[in-house]
A and B are shown apart, each in its own frame.
Chain A
Amino acid sequence: MLRLLSTLLLLLATLPATAAEEGGRVPLPVIDSGTAEQCVEPVEFMRRNHMELILHQRDETVYRGIRTKQQSLRNCINCHAVDAAGQPVSLDDPQHFCVSCHRYAAVKIDCFQCHSGTPEEGVPGVVGARAWSRGLAMESAR
């Protein structure tokens, strides 16, 4: 059901995308994921399926206490919610990684009613965060 809905919304979202490319009426989302380095899955897969991964991880964490970092929302935020200079971007900023695309696609999410949308303190920007999360991923794989 959710999948169907999101597919539908994605389809809808492609309509203004073409319009924007031609006329530039609708600003394109800021999808700057930093370097082309892959953290979880290829970009194409992530664009369509990130919510499935997050949803799965959500239940694993809440009910079973599984706290692997790689697919956790916190980890997504730590790396993605930063600007090109590696500085944290807040949810109020239209440049926020999640916000900009979700606004563009008109998909309303309620994650951030409860969850923090900015990187954790002490996670030093995008490059540092990458290294940090890689370290954690390796560590939990051990």
Chain B
Amino acid sequence: MSEQPIDRYRRRLLGGAVAAGTLTLAPGVFLHRIAEAKTDAEPVTSIVRWGLLVDTGKCSDCTACVDACREEHGWHGHDRPRSDAQWIRKVELRDRSTGRRVSLPMMCQHCAEPPCVDVCPTGASFKRADGIVLVDKHICIGCRYCMMACPYKARSFVHEDLTDQKPHSPRGKGTVESCTLCVHRVDAGQQPACVEACAQDGGGALLFGDLNDPRSAIHQALATFPSTQVRADLGLDLGVRYRGL
């Protein structure tokens, strides 16, 4: 992670102050900064489009990304596999003809044309200007039409009362939720929890950054190597890309 992409915000906001406290989470845990954050008062813009590149060649059987996400957002579950939330999951693939095996994380693909946003009756499913697809749980009525519409099974419905939610990740009974691309961290200039965990405890298979910025590592990687969008035939223009499928 030496070649950190320089965020456009940084260029626009030289000297933009960020609390020094966000640099260290706990003693010894260093947060890889991908960028100086936008200031808190600044709205997100469509100049940026956040994306994620998964290099399946570096992805092994580990579940560091899943564990980190669960910890970050507190979706610990109730030992009911069918109804417990899964914001991110490890998927094992086997080629029917050749037997080649691939392991990869699957989560909200942050489509540019998200079907969940199209079908949501109240507009609770929405896409932020910077491409992150979210649920506004304040106006989600829990109809679950987005779950019917999502091609990736990325969304979960909260089936029971919750307590002790993480302050930065509100979740509640009767609403639908999914990967937020760790929007609270991204807004603070950090990387999503899964990316950080994969770099630290996994194979370093996840690369996060601004798809729009030609100088970003993710942009350059996508420009150099072939990559795939899952169910590209649907034409949804995904924010999450896979390499080595």
Contacts and interface: CB of A to CB of B under 8 A. Distances in A.
B165 A115 contact: yes
B183 A116 contact: no
Contacts of B137: 114
Interface stretch (A24-32, A59-67, A98-106): A59-67
Interface residues of A, number: 24
A120 B126 CA distance: 28
Q: How large is the interface on B (under 10, 10 to 19, 20 to 34, 35 or more residues)?
A: 20 to 34
Contact of A113 (B40, B168, B173, B188): B173
Contacts of B161: 113
Residue among B40, B42, B164, B187 with the most chain A CB within 10 A?
Answer: B40
A116 B126 CA distance: 23
B175 interface: yes
A69 interface: yes
B83 to A, nearest CB: 18
B167 A139 contact: no
Contact of A114 (B17, B41, B172): B172
B76 interface: no
B128 A65 contact: yes
Residue among B129, B138, B173, B187 with the most chain A CB within 10 A?
Answer: B138
Contacts of B19: 135-136, 139
A108 interface: no
Interface in A123-142: 135-136, 139-142
B170 interface: yes
Contacts of A62: 134, 136, 138
Interface of B: 17, 19, 38-44, 126, 128-130, 134, 136-138, 161-162, 164-168, 170-173, 175, 183-184, 187-188
Interface of A: 58, 60, 62-69, 74, 77, 110, 113-116, 120, 135-136, 139-142
Given A66-B42, A113-B162, 9 more contacts: A62-B134, A66-B43, A67-B187, A67-B188, A68-B40, A113-B173, A114-B165, A116-B165, A116-B167
5 contacts: A67-B40, A68-B40, A113-B172, A114-B165, A142-B17
Smallest CB-CB A-B distances: 7 pairs: A114-B172, A65-B44, A64-B43, A114-B170, A113-B172, A140-B40, A116-B167
